[in-house]
Chain A
Amino acid sequence: MSRYVIGRIGQAALVLWAAFTVSFILLQALPGDAILIKFLNPELGLGPEQIADIRAAYAADSPLPVQYLHTVANFLTGNFGYSIHAGVPVGDLILANLPQTLWLASLGFLLSVVVAVALAALSALAPFSWLRAFIQSIPALFISTPVFWLGILLIQIFSFQLRLIPVINPGPWQALVLPVLTLAVPISAPLAQILMRNIDHVLTEPFVAVARAKGASHRWVLWKHVAKNAVLPTLTIGGILFGELLAGAVVTEAVFGLNGLGGLTQRSVNDQDVAVLQAIVVFSAGAFVLINLTVDLLYPVFDPRLRVKQGAVA
């Protein structure tokens, strides 16, 4: 393996560790105590001694550094602990909620890429400058749209007024249409803006003038010269926007009442279910790191200039 690959993987591991540690400290610093919230409930009729036993079982009273090392060791062996609220393994909870979010996130991302590319292509091909200015102003509108407001607006129009998508018990695909749209619109905006700016920039490069001087048409230049050069820097932003996507999923799932990781996060926050939250943070960070690692490793495939370094060491 080349030094480039090893370096990137090392960085990814470091980011994961940092995410784990910071979230651990923050979650411990939160006021309140999930165990007390659940078991002090008078209906359960538990005495103080029994509660103390439960606390001991969770190791809730041991010193923080011990708890920290304990949790790290558990996470490294794939044991994410038990949900304090539901009493089931956290790993099972996440797995059960994952498919819904995975569909939502990947479809949302796919749609946002399609929208962004379409807008950028339209603006590059627009025959009049006023039309181009109009198309280029669309992302600014998208970016300033709050996710919750857009979701409610879409439900209002498509479910209540047009009655296209039922609110109660929609089919599995119907249920995804509006959330995906809600999620995709704000993500597509920065992608489209960066893509448009990159296209405009690449069009001013001298090699474009050389291509025109060869007799290449505007379309030929866009397709054969501009596209790849403009997409390259957009890749990085795409990876970073994926983090935005996870954050957006929490709100979107809440608005549409979906059972995904977003919904799970929301419930766990309400219950102060520290074990679940810790696992969700690490899981999200893991997904984020994985996506960005993929982007980093893909770069040399698309950009020959990055291959040299790799080749020189390998």
Chain B
Amino acid sequence: MTSAISLRPTATDVADVPVLEVDGLAVAYRGPEGFQRVVHEVSLRVRPGEVVALVGESGSGKTTTAQAVIGLLAENGRLEGGAIRLNGTDVAGWSQKRLDGIRGQKISLIPQDPTSSLNPVKTIGAQVAEVLQIHRQGSRAEIGARVIELLTRVGLSQPELRAKQYPHELSGGMRQRVLIAIAIALRPALIIADEPTSALDVTVQKRILDLIDELRREDGTAVLLVTHDLGVAADRANHIVVLKGGRIQEQGPTAEVLAAPRSEYTRQLLADAPSLGKTRSAARSKPVHIGPRRDAIVVENLVQDFAVGGREVFRALAGVSFTVRRGTTHAIVGESGSGKTTTARSIVGFQKPTAGRILVDGIDVTSLRGENLRRFRKTIQLVYQNPFASLDPRQTIFQIVEEPLLNFDPLPRDDRARKVEAILDRVGLPPAVLTRRPHALSGGQRQRVAIARALVLDPQVLVLDEAVSALDVTVQAQILTLLDELQQALGLTYLFISHDLAVVRQISDTVSVLHNGRLVDGGAVEDVFQRPGSPYTRELIAAIPGGRNLDPRSFR
């Protein structure tokens, strides 16, 4: 804990003149009914060497505020009031041309998604060099040398090679390092980090945040950190600003906001944030057992190969085994490329395993063909990550939930309607949504529809593939509660695929940790978390944000 505090700047290296002072900021977007204000009266200050976190859920105005500061609002956005003082100079009224002179030099940006934030047809070296060229920093040779120096500084191996490579040849984490190199190239006074790690795996996330921390301390740069993750803010910021609906709910020193939140909304956020929260599995009532205790899913020595470019074979899964007891939740955890989604697809029967056995409810999935496979799908249903993409925008909610029924045993129309209405009620949606289409629903409501669609066939097993990852924390908490209730009431078995260990710890009974297609750890959740059996699991657990701060349970 002492090391945690020393990582944050101490009072001595935080000077008093703010680098950034936002005063009464108001921003509006042009919509069908004229300009609509989305940021109201936002005021904050960032002093040299300080990290200020802007925290909020989607639509809170946190990104808009950050965009306004760097003068890069979307085309339909406009500043409607307030001052943005950079080192004392108000830049709020400046033209784009004038702002070009300070962007990159005095104020820079680390963007959210490293995969799409680099130009795919230009080399890494050219894109780092560009910021130096725009601000005319030295000759060609000097710029070339500086590029290599910067790439080395952000921890990229073989910088000369990297400079000649194209973005697609680098991993997500490496690309984010390149973007950081661009942001620090001219030693700006302020860096805006807009969700800099939300698109990255948790272990990569930790390394990138550590890097930003280190560079900030060495150069004394101020950072405005935009994040939806309260855990990240708790670990990295001196000062937290909580936004909701474009208004500041509260702000103050990190420790104060976490220990004694003044606003109701912050308290809610803190309670819902899985990384800061309690482990729910301890509080969970024991899973119900219906009839004799049976295993819902048995996976034995599952191997899955994929052909890549002709004769080469890529082994996505190399002998994975686990069992899931009926009425319990089993989580499959891993980073991208670990094989967790491949496992799920094999269990649902979307692909034939290369070797191994999968029993679902006593039925060997690998031997099913044609009509039997189709029938089997009734017992196991999927809920996908993105509730915006997994619902047909042209169907009404009624049609969406009704569709699975039409694919299986034909029921009379009235029975179908009753069944749809009952299941929507079950997932907590009012009957009024029946005639609406997905676009008229919020993200949380859509995910409820997706769950209703999965449940309408009375399945035994629900595969939840990152089913809450795209949701805001408060919505996420509601959906997790709903899933818990449904499990208690219907005796469902969940297979919970996730990269988010904090959520996994909350919801699961047992867990399998996958790494490069191999099972590296497994067993009861608390056992794995308390006594991780592999170095990889330990690294994963250490990387969960929010752990670095005061133990949240100590002041609960």
Contact = CB atoms under 8 A, between A and B. Distances in A.
A, B co-complexed = yes
Interface of A: 205-207, 209-218, 220, 224-225, 228-229, 232, 302-305, 308-309, 312-313
A205 B97 CA distance: 21
Nearest to A207: B119
A217 B120 contact: no
- The 6 A-B residue pairs with the shortest CB-CB distance, nearest first, are A215-B104, A213-B109, A214-B104, A214-B131, A215-B103, A304-B166
Nearest to B99: A215
B530 to A, nearest CB: 40
Given A216-B134, A225-B119, A206 B111 contact: yes
B96 interface: yes
B121 A303 contact: yes
A293 to B, nearest CB: 22
B105 A215 contact: yes
A21 B96 CA distance: 60
B117 A206 contact: yes
9 contacts: A207-B117, A210-B118, A213-B72, A214-B108, A215-B103, A215-B105, A216-B130, A220-B134, A305-B121
A-side binding surface: helix, strand, loop or mixed?
helix
Interface string B112-132: 110011111110000000110
Contacts of A213: 70, 72, 103-104, 108-109, 111, 183
Interface in B44-83: 70, 72
Nearest to A209: B72
Contacts of A302: 121
Contacts of A210: 109, 111, 117-118, 179, 182
Interface residues of B, number: 33
A303 B70 CA distance: 31
B309 A312 contact: yes
B101 interface: yes
In this complex, the member of A206, A215, A232, A309 whose beta carbon has the largest number of chain B beta carbons within 10 angstroms is A215
Nearest to A226: B119
Given A212-B72, A229-B121, A305-B166, A206 B113 contact: yes
A205 B117 CA distance: 7
Contact of B130 (A214, A228, A305, A313): A214
B149 interface: no
Contacts of A215: 100-105, 131, 134-135
B377 interface: no
B256 interface: no
Contacts of A216: 100, 104, 130, 134
Contacts of B13: none
B121 A304 contact: yes
Contacts of A305: 120-121, 166, 168
Given A206-B116, A209-B72, A209-B111, A214 B121 contact: no
B210 interface: no
Contacts of B169: 308
Given A214-B131, A215-B100, A215-B101, 7 more contacts: A210-B109, A210-B179, A211-B130, A215-B131, A217-B97, A302-B121, A313-B309
Contacts of A304: 120-121, 166, 168
A197 B116 CA distance: 19
Contacts of B118: 207, 210
Given A214-B134, A229-B121, A205 B116 contact: yes
B121 A228 contact: yes
In this complex, the member of A209, A303, A308 whose beta carbon has the largest number of chain B beta carbons within 10 angstroms is A209
A218 B96 contact: yes
A133 to B, nearest CB: 13
A206 B72 CA distance: 12
A246 B309 CA distance: 38
A232 B119 CA distance: 13
A206 B179 CA distance: 12
Nearest to B168: A305
B100 A217 contact: yes
B112 A206 contact: yes
A302 B96 CA distance: 31
Nearest to A202: B119
A211 to B, nearest CB: 7
A275 B120 CA distance: 49
A5 to B, nearest CB: 15
B105 A209 contact: no
A183 B433 CA distance: 54
Interface in B133-159: 134-135
Contacts of B179: 210
Nearest to B128: A214
Nearest to B185: A214
Contacts of B121: 228-229, 232, 302-305
Contacts of A212: 72, 103
A211 B129 CA distance: 12
A218 B71 CA distance: 13
A300 to B, nearest CB: 12
A7 B104 CA distance: 45
A305 B119 CA distance: 11
A33 to B, nearest CB: 52
In this complex, the member of A224, A232, A303 whose beta carbon has the largest number of chain B beta carbons within 10 angstroms is A224
A212 B179 CA distance: 13
A209 B309 contact: no
Contacts of B109: 209-210, 213
Given A214-B103, A214-B104, A308-B168, A229 B135 contact: no
A212 B97 CA distance: 11
Interface in B165-190: 166, 168-169, 179, 182-183
Nearest to A213: B109
A218 B100 CA distance: 9
Contacts of B108: 213-214
A212 B103 CA distance: 8
Contacts of B72: 209, 212-213
B120 A229 contact: yes
A77 to B, nearest CB: 36
A224 B119 CA distance: 10
Nearest to B179: A210
Nearest to B169: A308
B508 to A, nearest CB: 34
Contacts of B183: 213
In this complex, the member of A213, A225, A312 whose beta carbon has the largest number of chain B beta carbons within 10 angstroms is A213
B64 to A, nearest CB: 13
